[in-house]
Amino acid sequence: MRAEALVHTAKPLDELVRRRLRQWPQRPPGAPRTSRQAGTWMRARPGEANLLGQPFLKFPGASTFRTIPDGLWLHFGPDPDDRWADILCIEACGSVQNLQDKRARFAPSTSSLLVVCPVRWLHEPAEPNDPTPRWHLIRMLRDEPHEPLVLPVRDVRVLYGLKARHYQSVARGQVPHPHEYFCPIEALTAERGQEDPALAALIGRASAAANFMVPA
C-alpha cells in the first residue's frame, strides 16, 4: 500500500513539473552564450501533452530500455562533419528512492549515451507561432532528414528537483557528482520559474563554459 501511495503522490508532481517546463524557452534559462557554446539549443521534453515521438536517451544496441527525463534540453553541435549533442536533463524526484533510481540512470558508464530525435519531431516546428521545422534550425543538418537523428552525447548535466526535507538531507550529507545539480522542487513548480535568477544562475553553472576563466 505504501508503494502505491508513493506512485499516486509522485505522478501529480511529475505532471505539474512537466506543465511548468513547457513554459520554458528553447534555450534553458541561464545557459551561457559564448563561443564555446556556439551550437543550437532546443527543448526536446516535455513537448505538447498529446505529442508522440519525442526525443529520448538510450545506450547503443538497446532497443527497449530508454531513459525519458521529465525535462530534456539538447545543445546540437554546429559542425555537420562532427556531430554530437550536449544534454541538460531535469528530473522531479518525489522520494529518496525515486532520486536514487534516477541518479543511477545517469551514473558514469563505459557505454556511450545516445540521444535519438525521431523524424516526426525534426519536421515539426519548435514554436507554435513559427512554422519553421526544427531540422532547419539545427545547423549540423544540411539536408532534410528522412530517418531519426541519432547523436552521441558529448556532455551530460542533470538537475534534480527535490522536496524540502529531501533537499536539506542531500545538501547536508551528499557530495554530488560533477554532472549533478540540485534545487528545491518549488523552483520547478513555480508559475514563472524560468524567470528565477537563482535558478538561472544554477543552470548557468551547469555548463562546460562555467569551467573556463573569463579574462579581464
Domain of 102 in residue numbering reads as 2-210
Assess if residue 51 is contained within a domain: yes
In a domain, 56, yes or no: yes
* Residue 117: inside a domain: yes
- Residue type for position 59: F
CA dist., res. 60 & res. 82, Å (int): 18
Q: Cα 56 to chain center, whole Å?
A: 10
Q: Answer whether residue 157 is part of any domain.
A: yes
pTM value is 0.90
* Number of domains making up the chain: 1
Examine residue 181 and state whether it is found in any structural domain, yes or no: yes
Residue 215 within a domain? no
pLDDT in the model for residue 216:
77
Shortest CA distance to 43 belongs to which of 55, 26, 20, 59?
26
* 193 inside domain: yes
Considering the domain boundaries, does residue 216 fall inside one?
A: no
pLDDT of residue 5: 44
Render each residue's pLDDT in the chain as its tens digit; 216 residues.
Answer: 344 444 445 568 889 999 999 999 999 999 988 666 678 999 999 987 666 789 999 999 887 789 999 999 999 999 999 999 999 999 999 999 999 999 999 988 778 899 999 999 999 999 988 999 999 999 999 999 999 999 999 999 999 999 999 999 999 988 899 999 999 999 999 999 999 999 999 999 998 888 888 787
Report pLDDT for 49: 65
Q: Are 157 and 181 in contact (CB under 8 A)?
A: yes
